[in-house]
Structure 1
Amino acid sequence: MNLRADSRILIQGFSEFISATHIAQMKAYGTNLIAGVQPGCGGQMKYDLPVFDLVEEAISKLGAIDTTIICVHPYQVLDAALEASASNIRQIIIISPGVPPLHMVTLLRKTETREILVVGPNSPGIIVPGKILLGTQPSEFYTPGSVGIVSRSSTLTYEVAWELTQAGLGQSISVSIGSDAIVGSSFLQWLQILDEDETTDAIVLVGQPGGGSEEAAARYIAEAIDKPVIAYIAGRHAPQSKYWHQTGNIATVVRRDPNFGTTQNKLAAFQAAQVPVAEYPAQIPEFLKKVMGNT
C-alpha cells in the first residue's frame, strides 16, 4: 500500500460521481493529482488537469502513476480498471456505484495475483488525515491521529470520524471498502493493513446488514489481530425482513440460514470474538478510550 503525501494520482472519468468540489478539495488537501483520462477529451484541460484519451498516454507523458480514482459509468468500470492494471497502477479506487457483479468477479480474478489493491465500488475512497485524500470523503471531519477506520458505509464513515474528532481522537487512516454486492478489498485485508500500520493504535470497524463480511471479520479479529478493535453495526433496530439494497444480499434469492446477514447475527459474531460493539456512533470514543488506556 502506497499512501504517501507525494503519491501520484490519476482520475479516470469526470461524471456525476465526482464533482469540481471534490477535485478542489483533494487539491486543497495536498493530494498530488497529475491528470485525468476521458476518451474523446484528450488534449483538453478539466479542473486544471491535463486530460488524456488513454491511461498509457498519460503515463508516457507524465510518468508513473501510483493510484487511480475511477468515476466512470458503472458498465465502463471494468474496462477502466483493467486499463489501469495493464499500465501497472497498483491502487485502484472505484467511486462509481452499481458495478455489475460479474464485472467485479472478472476484475478481481485479473488482479488477485498482481498485488493490486482494489477499493470499492461504491466507495468514497481513502483519507490519511493530514497527508492525502483520495476520493470524496469530507476532509473537514478528520484530524490526524492513531485510530484507523474501516467501513462498508459512506456517510457513517464520516459520522464516526467526526465523533472521534470531537472527542480528541484523531485518525490514522479511514477507508470505505464500498457497499456494492461485490467489492475489491475486504474487511480482512484492511484489518491486516491497519494491524501492521505503525501509525495505528486502535481500529474501528463499521458494518451494516447484509452479507457475511462482518462475521468473517469477527473471526479474523479473534484469530489474528493484536490491536484493539471496536465495532459498530448500523441497522440494529431495522426489521429483520428488510435488506439494505446496496449490500446486494444474495441471501434473499438462495436458501440460507434466515439469520444470515442480519444485524443480530453480526452482533453475535462480535460478541463471540469478544469485540466491544457500540450501540450508536457517539459511544465509540468512550469505548476506544477504555481499550487505549485513556480513561
Structure 2
Amino acid sequence: MTRQCLQATANAKDTIAYGTRIVGGVSPGKGGSTHLDLPVFNTVEEAMKTVRPHVSAVFVPAQFAAKAIIESIEAEIPLVVSVAEHIPVHDMLRVHEILRTQSKTRLVGPNCPGIIAPEQCRVGIMPYKQYQRGSIGIVSKSGTLSYEAVGATTAAGLGQSIVLGMGGDLLPGTTLADGLRLFFEDEETKGIIVIGEIGGEAELRAAELIREYRQLTPRPKPIVAMVAGKTAPLGRIMGHAGAVLTTRDMPADIKAKALEDAGAVVVPHPGVMGVAMKKLLEM
C-alpha cells in the first residue's frame, strides 16, 4: 500500500513492474476512487480493514510524514517505510514515543532508500535493475553506498538476499544492529555487509552485537564493513541530517576500528566488497 502523490505514482508503476503486489493507496479526500486500477482510501485505517496490507510505503513531504507514519502505526501495519528526508526532529521524537508503546509495527527510515528482497519485493526508491537475488544481506546508513555494495556483490556473482536502508537521519526507526539481527537469523543470507558513516553511534552498537554474535555462534557468517567520512571536516553536514561529525561523535576511523576489533573485515570502499566477501565465503 502506498500514499498517493506524483512521486508515489511513479514509484508504484516501477514497483508493480518489478513484481511487487500493491493493493491500494491512501489520499485523504479521494477515498472511493481508483488510481492505477487500484482502490484509493481516505485513511490508512480504512485501507487496513479493507485490503489488509503488510507494508505502508510513505511518500509524503517531510512536514507531513510523521502524521502518516503514526497513522500507519495506529492501524497496526507490520512494516512502515518512510523515504522522506528532513522530517523535523521533534516530529520523529513523537513517532518514537509511539513506537515504544507497541509491538505490531516496525519503521524503516526515514531518509532511506527503503528495503528490497531482489526479484521478490521492493518497497522504496532504490535503482532496482542492478539488484540480483542471492545470498548477501546489506544494511547501510547511506543509500548511495548501499547501491555501490549491491553493484559489487552482483558483479561478484553473489547477489543479495535483502538490502535494508537504515537511513541517515538522527532518529531512525531501524538501526544497523536491527539489520544485523535480521541477517543473523535469515537462512538465505550467507554473508553480511554493514555500511556506516559519521554521526551517531549506530556503528558502535553494531560492533558490540557482532562481537557477541561471533563469540556465541559456532560458525558465524562472514561480515564485511566500511565506515564513510574519514576525511569529513568537523561540523559540516555531509549530505543529510545525521551525517555530521561533531565534537561529541566518534570519528569514522574509530568506528571502523571498533567493527574490525569485533571481527568484521573492514574495507576502504564499497567497490571491493564483492571480492572481499567472495574470498571470505570460500575460506
Common fold, TM-score beyond 0.5?
yes
Q: Deviations over 1:257-285 (max 9, x none)?
A: xxx24212212212221311111212111
TM-score, L = length of structure 2: 0.91
Give the stretch that moved more between structures: 76-85 or 182-191: 76-85
% identical equivalent positions:
32
- Shift of residue 180, structure 1, vs aligned partner: 1.1
Partner of 2:108: 119
2:76 to 88, 99, 107: 88
RMSD of the alignment, in Å?
Answer: 1.9
Residue type of the alignment partner of 1:96 = A
- 1:61-210 paired onto structure 2 within 5 Å: 62-112=50-100, 113-210=102-199
Matched, 1:12 2:3: yes
Runs of 4+ aligned residues of structure 1 deviating over 6 Å after TM superposition are: none
Distance of aligned partners of 1:19 and 1:107 in 2 relative to their CA distance in 1, 3 Å threshold: closer
Q: Deviations over 1:33-78 (max 9, x none)?
A: 0111011222333333322111122233x33111100111212222
> Number of residue pairs matched?
277
Aligned mates of 1:98, 1:45 — CA distance in 2: 31
- Shift of residue 233, structure 1, vs aligned partner: 1.8
- Shift of residue 99, structure 1, vs aligned partner: 1.1
Q: Deviations over 1:188-235 (max 9, x none)?
A: 111001100011011001111111111221121111253211002222
- Shift of residue 162, structure 1, vs aligned partner: 1.0
Q: Deviations over 1:64-102 (max 9, x none)?
A: 111100111212222212211222211110111111122
**Secondary structure of residue in 1 paired with 2:40:** strand
Aligned mates of 2:270, 2:245 — CA distance in 1: 27
Aligned mates of 1:20, 1:115 — CA distance in 2: 27
Aligned mates of 1:267, 1:190 — CA distance in 2: 18
Q: Deviations over 1:146-184 (max 9, x none)?
A: 100000111211111011111111100001011111110
Matched, 1:242 2:230: no
Partner of 1:231: 225
Aligned mates of 2:48, 2:233 — CA distance in 1: 50
- Shift of residue 13, structure 1, vs aligned partner: 4.1
Distance of aligned partners of 1:44 and 1:12 in 2 relative to their CA distance in 1, 3 Å threshold: same
- Shift of residue 249, structure 1, vs aligned partner: 6.0
Aligned mates of 2:57, 2:169 — CA distance in 1: 17
Distance of aligned partners of 1:270 and 1:59 in 2 relative to their CA distance in 1, 3 Å threshold: closer
**Secondary structure of residue in 1 paired with 2:23:** strand
Aligned mates of 2:4, 2:113 — CA distance in 1: 15
CA contact (8 A) 1:181 1:246 kept: no
Structure 2 residues without counterparts, runs of 5 or longer? 215-219
Partner of 2:279: 290
Residue type of the alignment partner of 1:78 = A
Residue type of the alignment partner of 2:209 = Y
Residue type of the alignment partner of 2:77 = I
CA contact (8 A) 2:78 2:104 kept: yes
